[in-house]
Amino acid sequence: MKALSGTLQQFFVISVTLSSLCFSYNEDDCCFRSFTPTTATPCPNESIKDRILELANDRETVDWMKRIRRIIHEHPELAYEEVETSKLIRHELDLLGVSYRWPVAKTGVVAEIGSGSPPLAALRADMDALPIQELVEWEHKSKVDNKMHACAHDAHVAMLLGAAKILQELRCRLQGTVVLIFQPAEERGEGAKDMIKEGVLENVEAIFGLHLVHAYPTGVCATRAKEFLAGCGSFKATVSGKGGHAAIPQHAIDPILAASTAIISLQNIVSRETDPLDSQVVSVSMIHGGTAVNVIPDSTTIAGTFRAFSNKRFNALRDRIEEVIKAQAAVHRCSAVIDFSGKDNPTIPPTVNDENVHEHVVRVLREIVGEENTKLAPPFMGSEDFAFYLDKVPGSFLFLGIHNEKIGAVHPPHSPYFTIDEDVFPIGAAVHAAFALSFLSNFTTSV
């Protein structure tokens, strides 16, 4: 990432907006079902922004994206189980004439559009569902008990396929290659890491991703440079003492007391040891100890989560949690073993947007959704495994609003009442496509 910064700074000085570019299009050479690229045929002078929006808002394309999303929604699949979702994605890519490789990270799909040569720009969509019973009564309700797309990943897939359709139509304008990443297991916090291990970021210059949210009205985009989403870690501590009869506590060493004081001290880390303007969280959300009211147990277990907006502060918070728990255990003559491995809740680093790529994204948003619908997002304490990509290559992540009270799209992600406004689909597809086209054009011009 550091090695690329100089080049990025140079090419981003060249401010080329979408409206100043023209797209390459030929009815015979750039059709959906042909994958043979062409660069020889000149393309008409036409605003690429207008053409992207025209393609994205085409009624047939919009209905196609909705159909794909609804099929996926009716058949939700959990992390690394996305077999039918992956099959549907591959089927649609075949119809578009887009080449891909599969399987990647068990169920993932990685497609390419363009020349097949550098530079490369990547677009990512996650595709796993959640173990939630859907309570929304509608025609396309989940048909699988206790599984639901309650975090819009079905919509993310549909919009990225929409972008693939646009980019395939305009591929003769691509000055490089667009990599489309359909990723499994985001909810497990492992999918991005596994995709990276299988080389999806090889030679990629920048990556872009988005997430639908209810914090903003439909069509409003919000993002920020640098620290955007918090890093997320979990801890589990076993405090061990000496069991005994509760009526004669002097013969026991009480781990419940030690764990209780540790919990109180952990709350002091944020309230008394960190800058009030530097948001951090430490929450103990589980405690278990004892099986009878008159018996002091041998051990007690506590567990929780911690969050921060930079890797430095995140790691410092982790170290301090371990120090506090062990020290409080020692004060009460107990010992403590702390596990940060997060087997069920993997550690996810902060989502940090590259400043130069962020500036480029903002220019794209102003062209596609307008200045009035391009917002500065506040830091958000939630986390996203897109952060693993940003640890490897420059990139940017944003929120795309879907709040619409008229249709009941008001419930947050991970709610059994989660509903989205499907009118957002052409916007999401257009933003994806516009980022890739303009990034590759700018990069090629600057090198």
Q: What is the CA radius of gyration of the chain?
A: 25
153 a known binding residue?
Answer: yes
156 a known binding residue?
Answer: no
211 a known binding residue?
Answer: yes
Total Cβ atoms within 10 A of residue 191? 28
Distance CA 400, CA 373 (A): 10
The residue among 134, 77, 135, 131 whose CA lies nearest residue 106 is: 77
Residue owning tokens 């992207």: 52
For residue 353, list its beta bridge partners.
226
Residue 323 Cα distances to 310, 317, 330, angstroms: 20, 10, 11
**For 84, left (φ over 0), alpha (ψ -120 to 50), or beta?**
alpha
Is residue 258 within 8 A of residue 241, CB to CB? The reply is yes
Quick one: how many helices (H) and strands (E) in the chain?
Answer: 11, 16
Is residue 269 within 8 A of residue 317, CB to CB? The reply is yes
77 a known binding residue?
Answer: no
Total Cβ atoms within 10 A of residue 382? 14
Is residue 302 within 8 A of residue 237, CB to CB? The reply is yes
Distance CA 361, CA 141 (A): 34
Distance CA 165, CA 113 (A): 10
Instruction: List residues forming the annotated binding site.
Output: 151, 153, 187, 211, 414
Instruction: List residues forming the annotated binding site for Mn(2+).
Output: 151, 153, 187, 211, 414
